[in-house]
Amino acid sequence: MPVIDGKVHRATYTSLKLRELSSVDRPAQAGAKAVIMKRDYSADERENMAEAGQAMEDGSFPIKDKADLKNAIQSIGRASDPAKARAHIIRRAKALGSTELLPEEWIKGDSKMSKTVEQLETELTALKAENAVLKTERDTAIAKADKAKADCDAAMEGEEKAKKALSEATDEVIKVEDTEVRKSEVGPAQFALTKALIDKADKATFEKRAQDEFPHLVGTSAEKGLVLKAMATMPEAAATALKSIMTAAEKMTSIGFGRIGTAYPGEQNIEKAQAESDFNGKIQEIAKRDNIPLSAAMGKARAEYPAEFAKAYPAEAAN
């Protein structure tokens, strides 16, 4: 305090900056106590202590012994993360067996926190066990659902196959060249129209075949066409046998037509009869080819096949 005119005046400092704080072992003030402070650790020492768990990760709060522990407790206010620093100090105090140096409220808080952690760990264990049970139940439910779905899909597939089989068994079908036309697909009206057109085309086709292949057989072209159409649905062996019979009958009948109005000596041999049948076949081919009557085709056949004509009708050929 300054002394002015023999009087001691109390001074008030409004702006004061501390540039240095020194610690001494012999204080100048009467009654003052000296505190011997421990020398600070180097950066390398702090790094090594952090790796050993004696200091925090950044090297702060190094605690190797009880003196460091006391300094750390007093310096807790300078920590950037007080809670983390306090946890580190408590851990080091336990490691040094010096928890009695810790503030009482720290010990109570740590005990309470430890109890809470134990409770949380117990609850976590229970939750994990419950979760395992729920997972098992979920997996079982999913497996049952998957099986039920698979069974349902199989049943639906079987039902669809049964429906399709029944439909194919009872459905009306007609063939247009290599394509099948089903009544269930095109509808009754379209199916009836298609069938009528096919029947009409078949009727004309078979009648034309009857006229071309069996012109001399008894019956109309329509009647012989019906026979040919029926043959198309017969077993192959039966149809082949019937066609052979009709072909032979056609040949014999054509020979008879060729001899109408002329004497037919009983001694004529089979070879000559066959020759006449073959030549008449040439007449039929020319009539079909040139679309002319048989009478006109006769003259053309005689000119185009003179040898066959001479063999079939030697007397006429000599004239």
pLDDT at 12: 61
- Taking the chain (319 residues) in runs of 10, the rounded mean pLDDT of each run is 56 56 48 50 92 92 93 90 90 91 80 62 84 90 90 85 72 71 79 73 81 81 83 83 83 63 47 81 89 85 90 80
In which element (H, E) is residue 222 found? helix 221-232
Burial zone of 122 (CB within 10 Å; 0-12 exposed, 13-18 middle, 19+ buried): exposed
Q: Which among 89, 87, 91, 96 is positioned nearest to 73, based on CA atoms?
A: 89
Tokens of 136: 């098992």
Exposed, middle or buried by CB within 10 Å (0-12, 13-18, 19+), for 139? exposed
The SS3 call for residue 182 is strand
Q: What is the spatial distance between Cα 253 and Cα 159, in angstroms, rounded to a whole number?
A: 60
What is the spatial distance between Cα 186 and Cα 279, in angstroms, rounded to a whole number? Answer: 51
The alpha carbons of the chain give a radius of gyration, in whole angstroms, of: 63
CA pair distance 175, 165, nearest whole angstrom? 19
What is the bridge-based pairing of β-strands 173-176 and 3-4? unpaired
> pTM of the predicted model, to two decimals?
0.28
> Can you give the residue ranges of every domain in the chain?
182-258+271-318
Helix axes 104-170, 82-96, angle to 10 degrees: 110
By C-alpha distance, which of 275, 221, 215 is closest to 247? 215
Cα dihedral 76, 81, 85, 87 sign: positive
